[in-house]
Structure 1
Amino acid sequence: MSGVSPRILTVVGARPQFIKAAPIARALRAAGIAEMLVHTGQHFDPMMSDVFFRELDLATPAYNLNVHSLSHGAMTARMLEGIEELILRERPDLVLVYGDTNSTLAGALAAVKLHVPVAHVEAGLRSFNRRMPEEINRVATDHMSRLLFCPTGAAVANLAREGLSTGVFATGDVMYDAAIFAASKAELSSNILELLALIPKTYTVATVHRAENTDDEMRLAQVIARLEREAELRPVILVAHPRTRQRLAARKSAIVGVRAIEPLGYLDMAWLLRNAAGVLTDSGGLQKEAYFHRVPCVTLRDETEWVETVEAGWNRLWSDEADRPRREITEYGTGRSAEIIVEHIARFLEG
């Protein structure tokens, strides 16, 4: 690199991406690699966005594109246009993207069209359901990326089946790094249990946000029925995504036994989750976070990218009532995944 410090442009837009980006941002700073953070605006609610930057020690974004509340096509197109302009202006050595959102796809596509290498954190995940927009985003981003950082061996195997083996690394899961960081901070600072008058291990945490569950009336009715069945066993705290709040308001009827609350900051959510007796969710990230805190989970979907959480007995699909023996999942790493990823990035940039 001829003595010139490398520059990375990082694209984020949704809550899970902020969480994943935080430990890597700290590792990049420690390695002396400059990072410009671009927030697409996909999650714009302050409790889904701003608070995460404060709590996770994540720098304020250098740019915010404020793209949200549009169709998939319109949202991705406007993000693509904005990110392309920033790449041309900033001339980064690498574009770093996370996960499987429209922000992920737009960041990768803008970079590869301008011949800037792409690094994808959380590469290789597959639900094998091409009706999910996230699945299309994952596959397309992986095939545009030069560096593919896989959280599990299954993810590496998925890429191999698609002919991708160069630049593929099994790194463990940065979400585990983030969970360790959050739990230590939340234990000292969170009073969410007192605010909600909850006793540890006596309640279930629920989240519902995917369009497949919220935008289909029949599917939403099934989800609500599952939440109500859970509420017959113990109180259910539904941390309501903005889309979910809108759909529930349109129904004009409460969910029996379910207490809906506004989105929480990451530390409060981590502490609420850590002290729960169970989790019901359609979130990919929350399935893993439940495991990190050793809380049993039911996934409100017909498939999951995190098959190892099911195989290890900590998670099951809502269509599967079978209980499996629980075991530890070693391939998520030891909390050093961000450092491992940054080591690979540094070697790539040194060329």
Structure 2
Amino acid sequence: MQFLDSAKVYVRSGDGGNGCVSFRREKYVEFGGPNGGDGGRGGDVIVECVANLNTLLDFRYQQHFKAKKGGNGMGQNRTGAKGADVVLKVPPGTQILDEDGETLIADLTEPGTRIVLLEGGNGGFGNTHFKTSTNQAPRRANPGLPGEEMYLWLRLKLIGDVGIVGLPNAGKSTFLATVSRAKPKIADYPFTTLHPNLGVVRFGGMDFVIADIPGLIEGAHEGAGIGDRFLGHVERTAVLLHLVDATSEDPAEAYEIVRGEIEAYGAGLEDKPEVLVLSKADAVDPDDLKKKLRALKKAAGATPLIVSSATGKGVQEVLAALAREIVEMRAEKAHEPLRQKTRGWRP
């Protein structure tokens, strides 16, 4: 499946319908009077968060969305029909940004959420509205108001519990394929992963989502390699899983490169809990593995876990560490609404 996490679209709400100039003309009705109906309201532009989507690919093939115009008013005080709305269906985690790409308009994270982005124009008044005691046969009606229009950016930030980071070929996709049913592309060359992959893991009676993003290299925040644009997909995660390749010559340097790129990116990623893992342990001599483990521990200031996705060694320990962080995060979120409700309360 193709993946698209950013799209620029044009949206326009519908114009309101015109009011009608009409008079009642019936046999035996000497003074019929005005009976022109109002114009209908134009259609709205609505954005809806849909659960079964995980890409913005649909917006590659259609970038212009226009709601329908409201119907014109008619005689016998008939109001024009409301214009049909246009609905943009987006996956959870989609941010709506203004044309400048920086001003946040809305952040849709919960499936089923609907927001009216642009309202349709009001319909014009028919001549019935202008009848007075001194002007009993008005011959005027209002035109409908024009709709609104704008360009906007849709930017997807995947919603997961764990975000895997590391240099290219650190074993991120292999680990994801080992612990879930995801089938990311795996090969022995850098930048095998070109777009984020998601996998659902079941461990200890709980389910959580792991997001695997393309590898980072030194200078990624300046555009080197694939760049750091995919780091946005791990902004919403509870914990980072940092994989360091045990077969690399200097694991400590590899760790520092990735941490440097995370800190340069910002957005709170540098403050997230991190589970540090030395991967591909089966491909390294035991004595050499101990030396690299000590060097990595000294550089990170924390004891790394050792894992081999190929043999399954250490995988359960890593999942247990991730599960502990996720449980803490979910417990904090569960208490947040209570704190918000009681914050302003006074006896």
TM-score range, shorter chain: under 0.3
> Which one has the bigger helix percentage?
1
Taking structure 2 as the reference length, the TM-score comes to: 0.26
> Which one has the bigger strand percentage?
2
